Structure 1
Amino acid sequence: MKLLSISDVAKERDCIESYDEARDSSVVDEDKLLDSLETDLRSGGVIVDWHVCDIFPERLIDLVVVLRCSNSTLYERLEKRGYKKSKISENVEAEIMQVILEEAQDSYDEHIVIELNSDSKKESTANVKRLVSWLKKWIDDHPQGVSNELQVTDSESDANDDDDDEK
């Protein structure tokens, strides 16, 4: 699998149109970003890591995973990452209002959107196992769309995360 951290990809592929000082965040040119990702997404075997999902056409997406956590856990994680208080508050408020979950549910078929809690290492490990199981089934169901490089072994289902600082 190839992981695309969209924040990094947007910078690498010159898809940043401006910087929002108040939010302490880059503003992405979504059309340019999507154009630059089309080939990657069509090739399959890609995990897209970003807080926005509704820009991606459903034809390019097989599964949308929305990771959730308690507000106190989210606050602590973002604080550890050095986020400004205003950005932490905005993220916690979005979590309370289920903004990302609702965007995903409004943008994609209900069968491809799943919500997973990610408060603890135990939950994260269970999430990894669930996703590896889903991926194995997807590979079995799509043999024509799988390259020889895209294989999942049982050892990959063992999450080996030494800290509890998940996204």
Structure 2
Amino acid sequence: MDAFVPVVPTQLLMLTGGALTVYGGLNLPTTVAVGALGVLAGDLACYLLGRYASGRRPVRSVGTGRARGIAGRLTRGLRRPGPMMILLCRFVPGGRMAACFAAGRSRYPVRHFLPAAGIAAGGWASYGGLVGHLGGAALTGSGWRMVVVAAVAAAGFALAGWALASVTARLNSTPAETPVD
């Protein structure tokens, strides 16, 4: 569903499903399998939308500007549809929709798309289900642990966001020209 309505919190649903394997009697492998099949269906829908939106002719991406270091090589690699793009973008909020749509639009072969999307969906669902399960098991019967885990997670996400913003700002900045006297 989040393939068409991006505000649907699928990661939260996977975490909750994983936690319910501890509290609610759900089966962890079944929860992971259902989550993986659901996101794979959404990925395939985005792929098909891109494929039919492009018409008959394949669309080629055109590189722009000069790339810098590792970030530049990664960016160039993500412009071309392929297994690495599909796998990496699965874990980026909103990235999977763009990657799957781009793969369909560029006529990336479905025989290559489905295995990569399947592996990405399985990895994503396993990650979400296991984190929810382990978090639910660790927090059973202890309210203060839940508060500590939430605070550490919030601090970790804030630190990761700050680091990403600083690296991006550094890569995008150009040295200022200083006048020569």
**Greater helix share, structure number:** 2
TM-score by length of 2: 0.27
Q: Which has the higher contact order (CA 8 A, sep 6+)?
A: 2
Whichever of the two has the greater Rg, that structure is: 2
TM-score by length of 1: 0.29
